[in-house]
Structure 1
Amino acid sequence: MKTKLTKLFSTAIFIFMVLNVPVLAYLYSFNAVAFDSDFYKKEFLKHDVYLTLQSYNIDIINKNVLSYLAGSAAAIENDFFNEREKTHFADVKALIEKVLALYYYSAIIFLLLLSLQFCLSGFDVKKAAKKVFSALALGSILTLLTAFLLFAVANFNFDAAFDIFHNSFFAAGTYTFAPEFEKIVLLYPEKLFLDIFAKIIINAIISSIIIFALSASLLLIFFGSKFKVFFWKNFDGKSNK
């Protein structure tokens, strides 16, 4: 009975590790893209933002915004935005803080799961490594599958997805702006967010490919070429033989 429960618990941990991989991949990518000032400069050029707002130093303005959203600045210190726009940035900052908290907690949880897997493997490094590498490989495949799904959704109707996102996380009426007198939509046009979304997914795809390649290579080197054994025996508990 104890052995069966141990195997069941080990399988549950394995599944949670697999599910945690895409979460970490996407959140890591978000953290890397969201505060990349060089990326924004390229986007401003691409979408003619420098031309539209040529009377403003938008690189300085954007740097101030990113510093505020990252928590390194207490406030947005400029009169480029009105109070309504600044209130929206405060809402965005609160959401980003939750996203980053989820990222850090997910990383901690993954490490805890890894430690538990090691304990349940009887402190056998080889058995634990087999489970971990298999989880990373399967998690990478799951990341790729969800990435293609997200790309399909974005290409089908990004406007609808963008509206659903805002309706889900912001109060109605707090995220719509008039470009005639509110410059936030001129500095950050909707197409820029589509590019950010695509960049996050692309980075996650690259990360997952690298993780899969490394995990699969290590499985091949240390455990042989029968990937099916390493991937699917985790679910029936036979890998502890």
Structure 2
Amino acid sequence: MKIVHRLLGILIAFCLMWILFITSIQAVVYWNPGYFEKEYTKYQVLDDLPPMTMEDLLDVTDEMMDYLKGDRADLHVTTTMGGETREFFNDREIAHMEDVRDLFLGAIFLRRVCLVVAVACLALLFGLKAKVRRVLPPALCLGTGLFFGILAVLAAIISTDFSKYFVVFHHIFFKNDLWILNPETDMLINIVPEGFFLDTAARIAGLYGALVLVLFGVSLFLSLRGRGKK
């Protein structure tokens, strides 16, 4: 029975890791005021676009981000560029962003599933009359350590050649070549250059790592205190 208790605890840990990961992504790209303006300024993206204001570009970005989280029905966004009113995104970009939205919403859905699974596992532990205060912290330490260790290895590999693994990522998660954009005709690739993705990945990794370390630290503290009392 102790093995079952430990497995349930590890499963809870894995679910929490995914919940924290998706939450970290949301925190960086949605809950970080001024982030896009700062990145656009850093990489001087307006220089690679037909003449437009930063305010208009940020309005387009807001509409794009609303679309990705399902708060906007389509990505037909009209703005002023080069002194004329036109749609910012072309058909190819819109088709690619549909794939991106499906991926993002799928990750959000999986986070909800993980939350339900974690609560169900916790309820099952109580139902099995497990000593949750003794069983859960060590299991969380183990599960968190295993999951984070795997991610750390992946992060180390990716950091050796971000461009290469950025392409590999797209080949894995997209079944078409719509993500291959032309900077001469496609605005999307100009407003989010590779440096933007690198900065964003670094911020997500930093926040996620901090959250995981807090979870691991609390679990370790409770685990050691439980052993001391025992």
Into which bin does the TM-score normalised by the smaller protein fall?
A: 0.7 to 0.9
Structure 1 residues 142, 8: closer, same or farther in 2, change over 3 A?
closer
Q: How does 1:48-197 map to 2 (within 5 A)?
A: 48-53=44-49, 55-56=52-53, 57-76=56-75, 77-78=77-78, 79-120=87-128, 122=129, 127-197=131-201
Pairwise CA distance, 1:35: 2.6
**In the alignment, what sits opposite 1:201?**
205
Q: Is the CA contact (8 Å cut-off) linking 1:20 and 1:139 kept in structure 2?
A: no
Residues 160 and 75 from structure 1, CA distance in 2 versus in 1: closer, same or farther, beyond 3 angstroms? same
**Counterpart AA for 1:92:** V
Q: What percentage of aligned pairs have identical amino acids? A: 26
Q: What is the CA-CA distance between 1:173 and the residue it aligns to?
A: 2.1
Q: CA deviation at 1:60?
A: 0.8
Question: Structure 1 residues 217, 138: closer, same or farther in 2, change over 3 A?
Answer: same
Q: CA deviation at 1:100?
A: 0.5
CA contact (8 A) 1:136 1:215 kept: yes
- 3-state SS of paired residue (1:224): helix
TM-score by length of 2: 0.84
Shift of 1:181: 1.2
How big is the shift at 1:225?
8.1
Partner amino acid, structure 2, of 1:82: N
Greater helix proportion: 1
Alignment root-mean-square deviation, CA = 2.2
1:21 to 4, 16, 20: 16
TM-score normalized by the length of structure 1: 0.80
Q: Unaligned stretches of 5+ in structure 1?
A: 1-5, 227-241
1:157–1:225 CA distance, 2 compared to 1 (3 A):
farther
Amino acid at match of 1:55: M
> In structure 2, do the counterparts of structure 1 residues 46 and 225 end up closer, same or farther at CA, with 3 Å as the change threshold?
farther
Q: Offset at 1:221?
A: 4.1
Q: Distance in 1 between matches of 2:140 and 2:21?
A: 14
Runs of 4+ with deviation above 6 angstroms: none
The 1:225–1:179 alpha-carbon spacing in structure 2 relative to 1, beyond 3 Å, is farther
Aligned counterparts of 1:12 and 1:136: Cα–Cα separation in 2: 10
| Aligned AA (1:27) | I
Work out the CA distance in 2 between the residues paired with 1:153 and 1:104. Answer: 29
CA–CA distance in 2 between the matches of 1:204 and 1:167? 24
